Amino acid sequence: MGYPQTAAIFGGLLAVLILWLIRRDRLYVRDAFFWLLMAFAAIGFALFPRSIDTLGAWAGVAYAPALMLGLLVVVLLIKALLADLALTALRRDVRRLAQDVAMGRIEELRVQSDSALPGNGDGSR
């Protein structure tokens, strides 16, 4: 079995794994879109290996696999940046929720302490 067949099999397995993770609700569809795109790109480049050379010639790169590696690094850096942005938003939301819960707890304690004071309508003087 050669490189193209191996790459096509890995791409297909990746696609199946991603669909399984979506079905099990372990991966959001929005995030899975990127990984499915990568899986289908791997299958496409495996089925048509000369397309890598064509892209390299079009971009003016003498060694086309270097272009693929460079593009892969850029794509993964963008993916990491997007993941960091999503994580930052989640942390901000958790912090705001914690503050809201704390404020609610303070208000609850204030109401309890006010109702326990004499002369606040509880019948004791």
Domain membership flag for residue 125: no
Domain membership flag for residue 55: no
Domain membership flag for residue 105: yes
Domain membership flag for residue 60: no
Please indicate, yes or no, whether residues 36 and 74 belong to a single structural domain of this protein.
Answer: no
Cβ-count burial of 18 within 10 angstroms (0-12 exposed, 13-18 middle, 19+ buried)? buried
Q: Phi/psi of residue 2, each to 5°?
A: -95, 180
Please indicate, yes or no, whether residues 71 and 44 belong to a single structural domain of this protein.
Answer: no
Domain membership flag for residue 8: yes
Please indicate, yes or no, whether residues 44 and 69 belong to a single structural domain of this protein.
Answer: no
pLDDT score recorded for residue 124: 52
Domain membership flag for residue 56: no
Domain carrying residue 110: 65-116
pLDDT score recorded for residue 121: 55
Which two structure tokens, joined as six digits, stand for 16?
């199946």
pLDDT score recorded for residue 74: 96
Based on the structure, what is the number of domains in the chain?
2
Sites in the chain below the pLDDT cut of 70? 119-125
pLDDT score recorded for residue 7: 87
pLDDT score recorded for residue 79: 93
Domain membership flag for residue 111: yes
